[in-house]
Structure 1
């Protein structure tokens, strides 16, 4: 009888231990996804009257087509172009790349009702969004295999953009032409998942990477969304614009 009681106590102890481990495992794997659906139709009109940009609403998507040409001067325009301006920025290590700005034909199909994706998708090289002057946003990498911008950043012009080998001008980091014109807390454009991109300031303070999540955004009230919305922020440090991928599900980008 004594042996039987000992065996029963041992069985109860082991059962409790297994149950506790499983509970801890389940708790550790609880990664909830927000089911909030946002509506960005109120900011679509901000793309009105932009040279080289047209858009239409088709069902639940905003389709924006752009020629990708910046509306500001740059040393990357052909020298005979009235928009040509020699580099006059502040980077002592500036080094012009061999490319010149060329017109593009890029179409973004962007969700009008973005929500957090259950499975996050990495951004690709090339256009990941569109800025408020029709110039494409690129991610934080200079090339395949997550090459950092360490050297490439020295080829950014005075407005912190540059063209790649097909002449597609783009921004990886703060588009200072827009932030100087619109303000550093302003709406600057959209990523392909439908979530807005804002400048490096909010509520009178400078946003840093520590204020943002892994995707380089957060939920808060903005001047355009008084009830709050998830949005990305430009920051002065890597990853600058977008972190570990899209927060939402991206639409299509074709060119």
Structure 2
């Protein structure tokens, strides 16, 4: 009887583990390789590196994620002179299955990884490695600047300053480590498009914002708590409809940089001017409480709330954007973690683990009619198929004529949101696009006019 009870407890533990999003939500791939652009060539080039995550293992307390750090969407080019290209990280990341709140002094985020997106790509905070040297009254750190000494009082904001060097999906490499400082959705999907790089070097990012649906879980911070996209339930208890989840930070009303927002007198930074505009430094922001409006986030850019993956509620970070869907400080996580920072990049797995097989899991139907956008329709030369939200499985996409004859086929890999049919060689008429994820299908009629 005792053996039977122990066996049942073990089976129950395994079943519970296999529903933990820190195990099940990573996008896995062992066949598809990535692509990149070089400046002057609008045709993506294969890099031969596997995209997304290659393996997920778990124990009773940890999940281990193997990844090359390469997304399924095309990366590059980086038009600010960045000589680097995204490379194979060959990394193992360790995350707690049950993250915990830090009840003591909060840990600041730092340069380098502060988390990992579900496609295995690195998550960075606001900074770009450049700060203000108050001794020389000049910038320090980063390419072309002297090394910073001591602890600077003013850190430069990468999302504002490095925009010319971001690719279409708002990412770039530090060394060979491709990463996002911000919401990983393509520039040309924003309501106000801040960069025209997608015009020549098109990509789609990890997910597309859908204002009528709760945004997907897009990653995990280094304290183990989940990171969601830009939209969620208006109220933390899961009610109130879908709303944009907003940063509680705003720009300070200052013209000189002499104090931090908490009143601390610090070494002076440069005055606010055309060279160093408000928002140039992270310390130009202040957090403001918004009592009564649960769609605003706390000082860490998160809140405790109900989500589709966590119906009982959990602390969550959000990839904040403004009303135009442009990235909004502090962008992802920070400037401090809410929880205990226990996740890390490791070199080996030193405990017994179980390998998670996503093909054995029950998969939800992500093919929702309202998530599908096909444009232009009618079309004469190119048809784009875009899925709102996040694509968690590889999709097979076929173009049939009205007799049922297969005309063209393409695919959309997990971690992408858009693909195309070139129909310049297709006769005028009515056609049917069918999307299949292995279990479910969705069809839409299109018209080709020449």
TM-score, with normalisation over the residues of structure 1?
0.71
Give 1:153 deviation, angstroms: 2.6
Alignment check: 8 A CA contact 1:40 1:194 kept = no
Please state whether the residue corresponding to 1:219 is helix, strand or coil.
Answer: strand
Structure 1's unaligned 5+ residue stretches are 1-38, 77-86, 88-93
Quote the Cα distance in structure 1 between the aligned partners of 2:316 and 2:343: 19
Give 1:74 deviation, angstroms: 2.1
1:172 to 172, 181, 187: 181
Counterpart for residue 212 of structure 1: 297
State how 1:43-192 maps to structure 2 within 5 Å: 43=21, 44-47=23-26, 49-50=28-29, 51-76=52-77, 95=80, 97-119=82-104, 120-143=106-129, 145=152, 146-149=155-158, 150-165=160-175, 167-176=176-185, 177-180=205-208, 185-192=215-222
Once the two structures are superposed, residues 59-109 of structure 1 have per-residue CA deviations (whole angstroms, 9 ceiling, x without a partner) of 311121211011111224xxxxxxxxxx8xxxxxx6352211111122222
Alignment check: 8 A CA contact 2:27 2:53 kept = no
Structure with greater helix percent: 1
Please state whether the residue corresponding to 2:92 is helix, strand or coil.
Answer: strand
After superposition, the Cα gap between the structure-2 partners of 1:40 and 1:194, relative to the gap in structure 1 and judged at 3 Å, is farther
After superposition, the Cα gap between the structure-2 partners of 1:242 and 1:127, relative to the gap in structure 1 and judged at 3 Å, is same
Counterpart for residue 33 of structure 1: none
Once the two structures are superposed, residues 114-139 of structure 1 have per-residue CA deviations (whole angstroms, 9 ceiling, x without a partner) of 12112321122111111111101011
Give 1:41 deviation, angstroms: 5.2
Structure with greater strand percent: 2
* Superposition RMSD in Å: 2.3
Give 1:209 deviation, angstroms: 0.7
After superposition, the Cα gap between the structure-2 partners of 1:231 and 1:42, relative to the gap in structure 1 and judged at 3 Å, is same
State how 1:35-46 maps to structure 2 within 5 Å: 42-43=20-21, 44-46=23-25
Structure 2's unaligned 5+ residue stretches are 1-16, 30-51, 131-151, 186-204, 234-241, 249-295, 322-327, 347-450
Higher relative contact order (CA 8 A, sep 6+): 1
Alignment check: 8 A CA contact 2:53 2:68 kept = yes
Quote the Cα distance in structure 2 between the aligned partners of 1:57 and 1:215: 28
Give 1:227 deviation, angstroms: 1.2
Please state whether the residue corresponding to 1:225 is helix, strand or coil.
Answer: coil
Once the two structures are superposed, residues 165-200 of structure 1 have per-residue CA deviations (whole angstroms, 9 ceiling, x without a partner) of 2x1100110111122188771110111111000001
Alignment check: 8 A CA contact 1:41 1:112 kept = no
After superposition, the Cα gap between the structure-2 partners of 1:126 and 1:74, relative to the gap in structure 1 and judged at 3 Å, is same
Give 1:40 deviation, angstroms: 9.7
